[in-house]
Amino acid sequence: MATQSRELLESLYLTAVAAAHPSRCLPPHLPQPPARGRLIVLAAGKAAGSLTQAAEAHYLARMPAERLDGVAVTRHGYGRPTRCIPVVEAGHPVPDEAGLAAAERTLRIADGATADDLVLVLLSGGASANWIAPAAGVSFADKQTATRAILRSGAAIGEFNCIRKHLSRIKGGRLAKRAHPAKVVTLAISDVPGDDPAVIGSGPTVPDPTTLADARAIIAKYRLDLPTAVVRALDDPANESPKPDDPVFNDMQFRIIARPADALAAARARAEAAGYECVVLGDRLQGEAREVAAAHARLARDYARQGRRIAILSGGELTVTLRGKGRGGPNQEYALALAIHLDGAKGIAAMAGDTDGTDGGQGRPDDPAGAFIDDTTLARARAAGLVPAAFLADNDSTGFFNGIGDLYRPGPTFTNVTDFRAIVVDGPRA
């Protein structure tokens, strides 16, 4: 791949990520510590380690260490060094025993909060998998099985979270209920289209507008085959989540400190500084990765025919319905489908990457974040004996891009504001 195109695309990605890093976006929003009692930090998600690290440094300069308490849980490989508040690494997207133990510890700390305490909840994408506390009668194995089934179905993140909230003792407003009567302040990095507080991390501190009936309808929609205990739990009225009229939310504050739109705005400024006209398709794109890629390829070809020098940016979370047995995530599948539909069109390069640094994969911190393509991608693949359409049919985008050296592996970014996609069309220079 051309070095110049790759450097530009990578700089757009890194600019977007930097705009949402906790060291930059968290400090201006941190509340004053309580006059009495403890400051309790409860954090979860892919940015939990970096959020906790930044919050702890802030408060240790302002209050005694013995008044600081809490626990953070993040994805394996995403931990950060802290002095007082332990950071636990756990499984994502499929929960593991470490996440189970960390969630139980979180609930015990929340249960001990008093009216003099301030509970500071730091949320980011991945919290739904990190905070795993199955509803009564649902085993950890049942929850893992259900998670895998939903991941394979192609369900949107909001649908996924609706089911998870009704199978949990921590999600869907239940953490706020456990922390009552303490004051609860939640600061969140949004990783969801629309920045809905009830969807970010499955809304552990906000009222849940979804219902058990909604969860059952989603299961029917995707014809999910779930464990009997899970089906039984979703039929049990005791597992309905707290609603907006619950008084536990009267003294609750929620603030989003970084969102996908912020990341795209930063990348846009970087592209324009590099001399590109910029089109932002939005930060809320959803749909099948390969279908969105086809539409974006048509758009890029149109701009190329017009001789435009333009950067096309988009965010949002795409989905992949698994039909094959290969490896990859929605960003890699998007990039592969985009290359196929562009069919070597001259002067067009692109990248797609998850802003958390990992796209699908095996749950390891060195999993790829996404991939690059350009007008030589298909020719290089053919020279290597690779058939792009066959890899796409097998959902093996990782195998394809690994074969031509175009996987992107930035490692953990310690933040998460959904996916980032950039297509650069290099028309004639003025």
- How confident is the model over 59-69, as pLDDT tens digits? 999 999 999 99
Q: Say what percent of the chain tops pLDDT 90.
A: 85
- How confident is the model over 327-339, as pLDDT tens digits? 999 999 999 999 9
Q: For tokens 């690779």, what's the residue?
A: 386
Q: What does DSSP assign to residue 134?
A: B
List the one residue out of 331, 351, 363 whose CA is nearest residue 15: 351
Phi then psi for residue 378, to 5 deg, are: -70, -35
- How confident is the model over 25-37, as pLDDT tens digits? 999 999 999 999 9
List the one residue out of 286, 315, 273 whose CA is nearest residue 13: 315
Give the global pTM.
Answer: 0.88
Which tokens hold the place of 245? 């009229």
Q: What domains appear along the chain, each with residue ranges and CATH number?
A: 3-16+261-425 (3.40.1480.10), 22-133+168-207+242-258 (3.40.50.10180)
Q: What does DSSP assign to residue 238?
A: G
In order of 43, 50, 67, 122, 156, the CA distances from 63 in angstroms are: 19, 20, 7, 19, 42
410, 9 contact by CB (below 8 A): no
